[in-house]
Every structure is written in C-alpha cells, then in structure tokens.
Amino acid sequence: MDPNPTAPAIEVKHLACGYDESVVLQDVSFTVKPRELLFIIGGSGCGKSTLLRCLIGLLQPIRGDVAYFGQSFTGADSAQRREILKTFGVLYQNNALWSSMTLAENVSLPLEIHTSLSRADREEIVTLKLTEVGLAGSEDLYPSELSGGMKKRAALARALALDPAIVFFDEPSEGLDPITSREMDRLILQVRDVLGTTMVIVSHQLSSIFRLADRVLMFDRTAKGIIAEGKPDELAAHSEDSRVRDFLKRDDGPAPQPNPAEGGSKTHSS
C-alpha cells in the first residue's frame, strides 16, 4: 500500500451496514485525522460494533466506502486488502488471545502471517512490543496465567506487532476495575503520543471518553447513524439533543478531567 500523506487516516462515505434484511446504519459519513483519538459512542444497539466490523473488514457494507489514507478498502481486490490490513491493528473486546499459545506466540502471529521475517527478527519484535505495553519478561506465560489487565496489554502488543498506523479498540476497559482501566487509558495515550498511532475506540465508559477523546461520534439506534460529533465535554454542556446530554451525564460519576501528570494531554499534530 502506498498511502497518500495528505489524505485522512480513515474516510467513510455514505456507509450502510446491516445483517440480512436489517439495516443497522444508514448513510454514515465521517473522517478521522492522522494521530486523532476518536471515540465511537452511543447506547446499546446503536450500531457501534456493526460499524467496527465494517471498518476492519469483518462485515461487507451494503453500500458506501471505507478508505484508509486515500485508498479504498471496500473496493480493493484481495491483494490490495491484504496490504491495507497491515496498516491497522485491532484489540477485540474479549482480547481474542489463543489460549494454547504463549504471549510470545500470540504476538508473533501477525508477523508470521504478514511478513517473511526470520524467527530471530520476530522474537526481537515480540520482546519490543511486550516491553512497550509493560509486559517485559512475560514471553513464556499463557493467557490463563494473566490478570484481566495483563490480557488487555498482551492483546494490544499483538495489535501493535506490525507497527500499524491505526489501532481499533472494542471496549478496551470492559471487565477492568477502575484502577486498571485508568492504567489502560494511560497506556493508550502513551502509544498514541510515542508512536503517532491513530486510535478509534468503541466504548461506553464515560471516564475513558472524557479522559482520552479528542472527538466523539455519537450514534443512535433510531437515527441509524450519527446524531452528535465533537468534544465530549462540550457536547455534555451544550448539546441541544437530550439523547446526547443524557448519555454523557449518566450516573457513572463526574466526568474526569485529563491529568497532565499522567500523560493526559491530548494535543497532537495532524
């Protein structure tokens, strides 16, 4: 893939997605800038997971287009799709780690599938990626030997194995206690700021939304698309749509403010 350096990291045009005869999303369009940290939010059944499946190629859109750095993913042939797939990683909600493989083997899997690197080179990259997520020395552990937070970190190491330009997250804080969730948020910011990675996060976790998001897209089940776009604190304070205010002002506790001491600054170049 030869990316266009002036193109958006992601461009979605008039996307419609669904299952069989049911249309879940209709005429959805948006762009994501390089290095942006975008949250996809909304209530249950609004199409967040369906959108994610379309973006990463697990679900063929009914119509519309998804492009990465100026190149169509939806309309690409099989060879082009394989090249585009190398440009993004995915952290799934359930982590999707192979229980029969060590962490080293799990993280190495994308390298074995998509590259011709030698075993020694793969092992070097695996060590680097596990170190980046705070799991140095854990190569020989199995997923069953890890805590929930460590499994998330291992899944992130695998998502970063190919040095992707974009990482998609499906509920990265799901099942984590507040302290571990906060640590995961800090790690996501660290990866974005150090590696310059574009982040797209599907989440309902208000603390993470307010702590991390450069911008949110809020989806609604009845509208079958986007009903609000912007900074979460501004939408919570000023949106004229009660659905947006109700979602962002739920009784999950007060919206946290970014803490610069934790690397919570969200400034970036685009």
- Please check the confidence at residue 262 and state whether its pLDDT lies above 60: no
- In sequence order, what are the residues at sequence separation of 6 or more whose Cβ sits closer than 8 angstroms to the Cβ of residue 229? 30, 215, 216, 217, 218
CATH architecture of residue range(s) 1-87+165-265: 3-Layer(aba) Sandwich (3.40)
| Phi-psi region at 64: left, alpha or beta (left = phi > 0; alpha = psi -120 to 50) | left
Which DSSP string do the residues of 133-153 spell out, in sequence order? TT-TT-TT--GGGS-HHHHHH
- Look up residue 164 and give its two tokens: 């992707």
Phi, psi (rounded to 5 degrees) for 10: -135, 135
pLDDT per position as a tens digit, 57-89: 999 999 999 999 999 999 999 999 999 999 999
Computed on alpha carbons and rounded to an integer, the radius of gyration of the chain in Å comes to 18
- Answer yes or no: is pLDDT of 270 > 80: no
pLDDT at 95: 83
Give the separation between CA 224 and CA 28, rounded to whole angstroms.
8
Q: At what angle do helices 119-132 and 148-159 cross, to 10 degrees?
A: 130
For the residues 7-28, what does the mean pLDDT come to? Answer: 94
- pLDDT attached to residue 175: 82
Q: What percent of the chain is modeled with pLDDT above 70?
A: 91
Split at pLDDT 50, 70, 90, the class of 252 is low
CATH 3.40.50.300 boundaries in the chain = 1-87+165-265
Place of tokens 């099989």: 78
Q: Specify the pLDDT at position 255.
A: 45
The pLDDT of residue 94: 82
What are the angstrom distances between the C-alpha of 21 and each of 24, 45, 62, 219, 221?
A: 10, 16, 10, 20, 16
d(CA 13, CA 28): 7
Helix 119-132, helix 103-114: angle, nearest 10: 120
The 10s digit of each residue's pLDDT in 196-251 is 999 999 998 999 999 999 999 999 999 999 999 999 999 999 999 999 999 999 87
